[in-house]
Amino acid sequence: MIIAKKWLIVGLLSLSLMSCKKTPEIILTPLEEKLASMSLDEKLGQMIQAERYAVTTATINELNLGSILSGGGSHPTPNTVEAWLALTTKMNNAAKNGSAGLPLIYGVDAVHGHNNVEGLVLFPHNSALGATHDEELLERIGKAVGVQLRATGISWNFAPCLAVVQDIRWGRAYEGFSEEPNLVASLGSAYIKGLQSEGIMATAKHYLADGGTDFDSSKNSYPIDQGNVSLTEAEIRALHLVPYIKAIQDAKVKSIMVSFSSINNQKMHGSTYWITTILKEELKFDGIVISDWEAIHQLPGSLIYQVSSAINAGVDMLMEPNKYKDVLAVMKRAVENGTIKMERIDDAVMRILKVKDDLKLSTGLASATIDMENDKALAREAVAKSQVLLKNEGVLPLAKNTDILLIGPGIDNVGYQAGGWSFSWQGEKGNEHFPNATTLLEAFTAIAQANGAHIYTQLKDASKADVVVMVLTENPYAEGIGDTKTLSLTSGLAHPDNAETIRQAKLIKKPIVTLLMSGRPLIVEDEIEYWDAFVMSWLFGTEAQGVTDVLYGDVNFSGTLSFTWPKISEANTTSSMNPDRNADDIQFEIGSGLTY
């Protein structure tokens, strides 16, 4: 009994001493404190991105919206740098004055320059830049685009596209650098580094395997855009995941956009495995995962099921340009009924808060002034380095006193030089919206006038010319519209005037230099024998002097193909990544390109 009392006394003393010890203080980081202070409505507002045209400053303020975007062709009036800055500043101030007190992230698709703004320099599209194989150049272009964006108050660029393009019939093929994953990885990461060095958030898109969607051979039709990828996980990892690994681990990309497409018939926006298990857990991606334009509505079921499926799969921010109020309402219902756990909401919002803190948005973007002359010089350099000489029977380089007959639909048309995502989503025809650009006609004429030569554009003057320069083009296009089942020079999405231009050139009986301005290789098998020189000029943007720099020999050709050039329209069978391809179906191998 005495022993029992002794142990009782000891136990009571121990309890007394324990009660005197202080509970360890939990120290929260400033971002954790901010998250803890936010209401559910404030958190959900941060997870929404709405379109500029669909909101007011009052809406932004009231709903605490986390982000605004301008889609392709969406711009203020007037469409000037100053008007853009005024717009983004006004919207950002409205956000910061909301109850959450958080700044906006404003996003655009500046896929080859700040292409929504009239008059700015446009760089070559990615399929052209792939031909440069030049990481240092890509990093400088990323920095230049970053300055363009900062000058207009934009903090988020939905670029670069890291598609490893296996079928150039896909309408977004020109947004990809190559069919070869390591080249896509190196160039994409270099661009991300340049862009983010200017305080702009880059976006690796479209996750995952958007460049590997199937062609529906049973229907001989499309779309392959937003289609299905029929590959094993090992094949996807070896081919399509490679650029994302480098973007995350080397370039530290801050956002990733999910693809409209599916893998083995599961929509990517609902794939917990690829978004959470692989991207966030295995690859340790700690930035924002954003949906594509209204893409969650392609998931099955009701709106609340679509929203819940995407968020539970790991999507942190929903790009809802028009339906954002409806989406916000069902997000709240889903949290309140337990369909979406609060932990998932907090994870998404913390990622958004972290990015906003990293970008220092609370103090505003650092001011920037666009250097037009620097941008023009850089774009001109990129154009020259991207030109690929595929045939030359001694006609190039051109002497500067050569009299030239310049013909074809692309000779005096910036819209065709630039392609899609140029001023508007699907691109423009003509020069109206590109007041500071240089066309091929202007570039040739400047050299001719300085050297006593003439540039003729009328067939009646053919006899006066020493050489014919024929410029063939595709019509401008972007996703969806750009899908095609034929890669013909004279049908499908090729310019309708190409056929007559080719016919006329043959009749002239002069040496022919052919330039092809397109986002992808087209079938030249039946015509190339009639050409004395053939140059792939790609969609090179606003600075045509880069083309004449190499044609006249001021700069040597250095570009080489980053895509296999097929002889057939079934281009997916000729990719260098296809072990079963037939060599007889290939016009030029990847890596082809001549020099002087």
Residue among 109, 139, 292, 549 flagged as catalytic:
292
Whose CA is closest to 469, among 375, 519, 396, 558?
396
Side chain identity at residue 229, one-letter code: V
Contact between 559 and 593 (Cβ < 8 Å): yes
* Phi/psi at 446 (5° precision): -60, -40
286 is catalytic: no
Instruction: Encode 157-169: b = buried (16+ Cβ within 10 Å), e = exposed.
Output: bbbbbbbbbbbbb
Contact between 544 and 438 (Cβ < 8 Å): yes
Which tokens sit at 567?
Answer: 């002889």
51 is catalytic: no
Contact between 340 and 331 (Cβ < 8 Å): yes
Contact between 380 and 545 (Cβ < 8 Å): yes
Whose CA is closest to 149, among 205, 209, 197, 204?
197
Name the DSSP letter for residue 182. H
Secondary structure (3-state) at 572: helix
Distance between CA 285 and CA 403 in Å, rounded?
Answer: 57
* Phi/psi at 26 (5° precision): -85, 115
Contact between 175 and 111 (Cβ < 8 Å): yes
SS (H, E, C) 396-456: CCCCCCCCEEEECCCCCCHHHHHCCCECECCCCCCCCCCCCCECHHHHHHHHHHHCCCCEE
* Phi/psi at 175 (5° precision): -80, -10
Residue among 375, 428, 474, 479 flagged as catalytic:
479
Beta bridge partners of 51: 69
Q: Which residues are catalytic?
A: 292, 479
